[in-house]
């Protein structure tokens, strides 16, 4: 059972990561390219999306690869990876990616990890010269001022404010502002639904799923949360918990019924034995009136003492 649960959890994690990857791909043009320009000072003139999969002895999938044309400089590849937790193995993983990508494209590569977690990045991003790999830069979304992102008119940037820096006590205010701002900037209800779905998924990175769901449900917007994947997953898990609880209750009732049946059977057996004993006493009492104790004892193979006591009584 535990093995099955672990397999299910692993499958759910993979689905969730695939969903995040799709969101990042949709938003990269509007958010991550401008963000890299701003944080790293790279002047990007044009860029081309490259395939992430590189097949060698072992196939490894990189999050995002872009072929960049920078003003007055040679072309280079920009490699983006997204992390929500600190990974001690990150430098070595990036080194493997670097070798595979460079062998295929044979042009310089710049590696950037975008940290989405709320904890401060502590993973090592540099290796010594003898380790060959040069390292990568980190853009910590959690250190960017949320107000700066909320000033934007671009939905992809607005929803990222949830992962940015703001006082914890203002979480509900930020969430409500994000939803209101999305309602203003989205051009259609279909777009609004899509960005609210992304907001709900991002809320899990900050353990704000319940607060976000409540706000989305209560605000006067036409968003059908009953179609949301996380909502449906919660309903499914609640049904499973209720089903398990019902099974446990039925098992308890069945055990109680079985115990009651055993007690009733024991009572009936005891009553039957008492009735047999009483009938036997009555029979011997009548026989003592017409026969001797020794004859009755010999005929029925019972003790003389028992008959004597019965006669006295």
Token duo for residue 243: 């089903």
What is the rounded CA–CA span in Å between residue 31 and residue 28?
A: 5
Burial, 39: exposed, middle or buried (Cβ in 10 Å; 0-12, 13-18, 19+)?
middle
The whole-model pTM stands at: 0.45
Give me the pLDDT at residue 251, please: 80
Give me the pLDDT at residue 58, please: 37
Residue 122 φ/ψ, nearest 5 degrees: -125, 0
* pLDDT tens digits, 3-33: 556 666 666 666 666 777 777 777 776 766 7
Nearest CA among 163, 157, 175, 170 for reference residue 206: 163
| Protein fold of 14-143 | Trna Endonuclease; Chain: A, domain 1 (3.40.1350)
* pLDDT tens digits, 114-173: 888 888 888 878 776 766 655 678 888 888 888 888 888 888 888 888 888 888 888 888
Give me the pLDDT at residue 256, please: 81
Nearest CA among 132, 136, 110 for reference residue 123: 136
Q: Which residues of the chain have pLDDT under 50?
A: 56-59, 223, 225, 229-230
CB neighbour list of residue 49: distance below 8 Å, 6 or more residues apart: 64, 65, 66, 67
């Amino acid at each position: 059972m535990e093995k099955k649960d672990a397999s299910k959890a692993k499958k759910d994690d993979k689905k969730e990561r695939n969903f995040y990857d799709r969101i990042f791909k949709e938003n990269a043009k509007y958010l991550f390219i401008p963000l890299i320009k701003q944080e790293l000072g790279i002047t990007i003139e044009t860029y081309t999306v490259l395939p992430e999969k590189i097949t060698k002895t072992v196939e490894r999938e990189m999050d995002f690869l872009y072929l960049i044309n920078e003003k007055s400089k040679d072309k280079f590849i920009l490699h983006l990876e997204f992390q929500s937790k600190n990974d001690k193995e990150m430098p070595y993983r990036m080194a493997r990616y670097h070798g595979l990508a460079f062998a295929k494209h044979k042009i310089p590569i710049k590696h950037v990890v975008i940290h989405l977690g709320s904890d401060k990045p502590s993973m090592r991003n540099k290796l010594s010269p003898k380790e060959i790999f040069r390292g990568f830069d980190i853009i910590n979304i959690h250190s960017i001022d949320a107000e700066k992102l909320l000033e934007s008119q671009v939905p992809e940037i607005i929803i990222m404010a949830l992962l940015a820096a703001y006082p914890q006590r203002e979480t509900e205010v930020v969430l409500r502002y994000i939803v209101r701002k999305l309602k203003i900037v989205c051009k259609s209800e279909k777009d609004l639904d899509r960005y609210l779905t992304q907001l709900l998924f991002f809320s899990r990175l900050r353990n704000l799923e319940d607060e976000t769901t409540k706000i989305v449900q209560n605000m006067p917007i036409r968003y059908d949360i009953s179609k949301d994947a996380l909502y449906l997953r919660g309903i499914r898990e609640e049904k499973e918990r209720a089903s398990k609880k019902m099974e446990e209750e039925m098992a308890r009732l069945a055990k109680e019924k079985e115990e009651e049946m055993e007690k009733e059977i024991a009572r009936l057996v005891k009553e039957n034995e008492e009735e047999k004993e009483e009938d036997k006493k009555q029979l011997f009492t009548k026989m003592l009136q017409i026969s001797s104790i020794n004859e009755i004892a010999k005929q029925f193979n019972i003790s003389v003492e028992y008959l004597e006591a019965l006669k006295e009584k």
